[in-house]
Amino acid sequence: MDQEKKQTKCNIHQILNNNLLLFEENNIQTKICSICAKQLTQNFNKIIELDEFIYANDDHIFSSFPPLEDDNIYKTIQKLQIKKGSSIEEIFVEKINNYFLSLKKEINQKIDVLHNQVKSQLIQIRDYKQNQGDIFLDFYNEISSKFDIQRLYSQYSKDSEQRLKEIIQEKYQNIKKNTENLQKNISEYQAIINKINLKNAVEIQQKILGLLDQINFFEKSFIEDVEFEKSKSYLSSQNLEIQRLQNRQLQINQSRDGNGVSYANFILDPNKKYIFRVKLQTNSQSNSFLVVGIIQEQDKDNKQLQDGICYNERGNCMTIKKIVKGNNVFEGQKTNIDKEIEMRIHLAQKMIKVANYPNYENVAELENKDLILQNTQYRLAVELHFSVHKIIITHLSTVDEFDQQM
Ligand SMILES: [Zn+2]
């Protein structure tokens, strides 16, 4: 249809085109001018420009049409940004691409800002400007008589031999003094060099990398589906309190002091590779008896976990203690321990390891792998005693392959 023919002028307001649709239930005007429309209704969201209909493509969603009982639906549909002809896969790919682009951009910006801040701090610290390396080397060159010896060799004469011998003998005479002075100079140099401390920065770097590893778009952690149960007859297990936190993690603590075992509501598949992360908190009680491990199906309701295959924050009564990397994972008897550990389990390979998380600095494994019996059913389990202690299960997932972190 010709655009000219569609446009009709209002009979009353002759300068205006009848370019609107008014669609109130009892007041439908298919071609009306804006002044007439506003006189006929206060309900402006029942007015649409005809052009919006005429030029609407396949993807276009109107803001108020067709009439619906809930006006929020228009906005909901618009937000979904549904595109004609794009597959769900494309939508996922686009979302994931956008996420990583923005992650990269924001991290880069943040790093640049921090880098510049640190550089400007450095400029303000005058001490670091002095050339401590030169001071050290000048001293070394002096006590080694490096240049005298050089000169004697380059202009070698009869006298040179005698003079060289004297210089070297003199070094022996001053051996004590030179050693002491050189050590003093090394210490001074090291003290200045060590004023820049990368330990904290490297730790944070490890944490960030660990956190990045946790990015997951497809919810592979099944912590939400797992429940923990109380051992039915082992000591004070029935006094345990197990609660689901707001972030879906599971917190287990004792309501009053006494040993209690809690175990997962499923049996470990020996062929699966599990990653199990647990926070351990001692709060004010230094007897850090916090035990994490696997318990045999037949023992789960009547035995202690420390008899089985376990890690114990206190450092004793445990079997997962052979150091693979770094130092011990456990900190021993300490108040205010607040840490997270990761346990990796692959029963078919008789593999069970534990590491501090997220930096994997220290890694330990089962000392005697034959403790893991074949054709035996195991469950994840924890044991604790003191009511101020807390065990929080933060993550549980299976992976196709373990990464190289531990
Ligand atoms: Zn009019």
Domain-embedded: residue 201 = no
pTM over 0.85: no
* Ligand 1 centroid distance, CA of 32 (Å): 6
* Ligand 1 centroid distance, CA of 65 (Å): 23
Domain-embedded: residue 369 = yes
199-218 confidence digits (pLDDT tens): 899 999 988 988 887 787 87
* Ligand 1 centroid distance, CA of 64 (Å): 22
Model confidence band, residue 158 (pLDDT cutoffs 50, 70, 90): confident
Domain-embedded: residue 116 = yes
Cα–Cα nearest to 365, from 402, 401, 396, 329: 329
Model confidence band, residue 128 (pLDDT cutoffs 50, 70, 90): low
Phi then psi for residue 208, to 5 deg, are -60, -45
355 CA to centre of own chain: 15
44-68 confidence digits (pLDDT tens): 999 999 999 999 999 999 999 999 9
* Ligand 1 centroid distance, CA of 11 (Å): 6
User: Which residues lie closer than 8 Å to 236 by C-beta, 6 or more apart?
Assistant: 254, 256, 257, 258, 259, 260
Cα–Cα nearest to 352, from 364, 339, 360: 364
85-95 confidence digits (pLDDT tens): 888 888 889 88
Are residue 7 and residue 60 in the same domain, yes or no?
A: yes
Are residue 314 and residue 381 in the same domain, yes or no?
A: yes
345-377 confidence digits (pLDDT tens): 999 999 999 999 999 999 999 989 999 999 999
Model confidence band, residue 81 (pLDDT cutoffs 50, 70, 90): confident
* Ligand 1 centroid distance, CA of 236 (Å): 84
* Ligand 1 centroid distance, CA of 53 (Å): 20
Asked whether the beta carbons of 56 and 62 are under 8 A apart, the reply is yes
* Ligand 1 centroid distance, CA of 55 (Å): 23
Domain-embedded: residue 209 = no
99-123 confidence digits (pLDDT tens): 999 999 999 999 999 999 998 888 7
For residues 235 and 141, give the distance between their C-alpha atoms in angstroms, rounded to a whole number.
73
Q: Looking at the predicted structure, is the pLDDT value of residue 3 above 70?
A: no
Domain-embedded: residue 211 = no
For residues 270 and 264, give the distance between their C-alpha atoms in angstroms, rounded to a whole number.
15
pLDDT recorded at residue 2: 47
* Ligand 1 centroid distance, CA of 61 (Å): 27
Are residue 311 and residue 238 in the same domain, yes or no?
A: yes
* Ligand 1 centroid distance, CA of 146 (Å): 104
pLDDT recorded at residue 210: 80
Considering only residues 325 and 215, tell me which one the structure prediction assigns the higher pLDDT.
325
Computed over every residue of the chain, the mean pLDDT equals: 91
The boundaries of the domain holding residue 159 are 127-193
For residues 335 and 18, give the distance between their C-alpha atoms in angstroms, rounded to a whole number.
80
pLDDT recorded at residue 137: 92
Q: Which of 111-120, 136-145, 219-228, 313-322 has the lowest mean pLDDT?
A: 219-228
Domain-embedded: residue 345 = yes
* Ligand 1 centroid distance, CA of 37 (Å): 7
pLDDT recorded at residue 89: 86
* Ligand 1 centroid distance, CA of 35 (Å): 5
* Ligand 1 centroid distance, CA of 16 (Å): 7
Number of domains in the chain: 4
Residue ranges of alpha helices (H) inside 24-174 are 34-40, 50-55, 72-80, 88-124, 132-143, 146-154, 158-173
Asked whether the beta carbons of 210 and 359 are under 8 A apart, the reply is yes
* Ligand 1 centroid distance, CA of 15 (Å): 9
Mean pLDDT throughout 370-392? Answer: 96
What is the CATH classification number for the domain harbouring 320?
A: 2.60.120.920
pLDDT recorded at residue 19: 95
Are residue 8 and residue 118 in the same domain, yes or no?
A: no
Are residue 134 and residue 102 in the same domain, yes or no?
A: no
pLDDT recorded at residue 220: 65
Q: Which of 288-292, 308-312, 382-386 has the lowest mean pLDDT?
A: 308-312
* Ligand 1 centroid distance, CA of 33 (Å): 4
Are residue 254 and residue 340 in the same domain, yes or no?
A: yes
- Helix and strand totals (H; E) in the chain: 10, 16
* Ligand 1 centroid distance, CA of 296 (Å): 84
* Ligand 1 centroid distance, CA of 36 (Å): 4
pLDDT recorded at residue 127: 63
Domain-embedded: residue 213 = no
* Ligand 1 centroid distance, CA of 52 (Å): 19
Are residue 394 and residue 325 in the same domain, yes or no?
A: yes
Are residue 180 and residue 302 in the same domain, yes or no?
A: no
Are residue 370 and residue 304 in the same domain, yes or no?
A: yes
Model confidence band, residue 1 (pLDDT cutoffs 50, 70, 90): very low
Are residue 98 and residue 240 in the same domain, yes or no?
A: no
* Ligand 1 centroid distance, CA of 391 (Å): 73
Are residue 343 and residue 332 in the same domain, yes or no?
A: yes
213-248 confidence digits (pLDDT tens): 778 787 867 888 899 999 999 999 999 999 998 888
Domain-embedded: residue 215 = no
Are residue 175 and residue 312 in the same domain, yes or no?
A: no
Q: Looking at the predicted structure, is the pLDDT value of residue 70 above 80?
A: yes
Q: Looking at the predicted structure, is the pLDDT value of residue 282 above 70?
A: yes
